[in-house]
Structure 1
Amino acid sequence: MLVTVIVSVVAGMVSGLASHYITIKKFLLPRKSKLAFHPGFLGEMFVGSIASLVGVAMFNPETMMDILKVSILAGISGQAFLLHNRLATEQVKTDEIQSISKKLTELEKKNKE
């Protein structure tokens, strides 16, 4: 049981790290700004390990090869979930910027009249 958990966590961390590198083309180090803490590649390793643990718990693989397969697939899926959320957030920001731009244009037209 402990070996299964360790293998699952390590495989998830490695798949999270690989997914981070594939997505960004470099390793972002953790950093702290005035407003927030940005975990960098460590955040994606954490998500990959948690996703792989959930995947192994749900599918209950029997052999070590099956544990690795499930862990890697779940770790990459966790990264896809994060990427989807990032894209959705960026879309909301873009929509808000366009809305503000339209309102500014309308105000400028009213001021000219």
Structure 2
Amino acid sequence: LSELLSEDKETGKAWFIKEKLRWIRDVKTPQQARWRLTHFINHARDVLGDSPLQSPMYEALETLKRHSERIVRRITSDLTNARLEGMNSLFQAARARARGYRNTKNFI
């Protein structure tokens, strides 16, 4: 990893940016999250430079910028979709058990 970063390789730059993204999540207020997200996007653009190899990273940064307010809301809230995922797994299990039954009467 240090070799990638020290030789100014494109892979090292992409890895550095990915790891720096974790820094955004350690905030307490929406203002901190907004500042860190803006700072991250600007810093990542500076690190990437003008390399055409980094076009996927530029697209990812544009996506972050476009959805920044939603990202800030998600970071500062304690809500998750865990309950929906749990219900979905129950429905999927019921569907898996129902395979082979011709109709719901035979299943129930």
TM-score (norm 2): 0.32
Choose between structure 1 and 2 for higher RCO, CA contacts under 8 A separated by at least 6 residues: 1
Q: Which has the larger radius of gyration?
A: 2
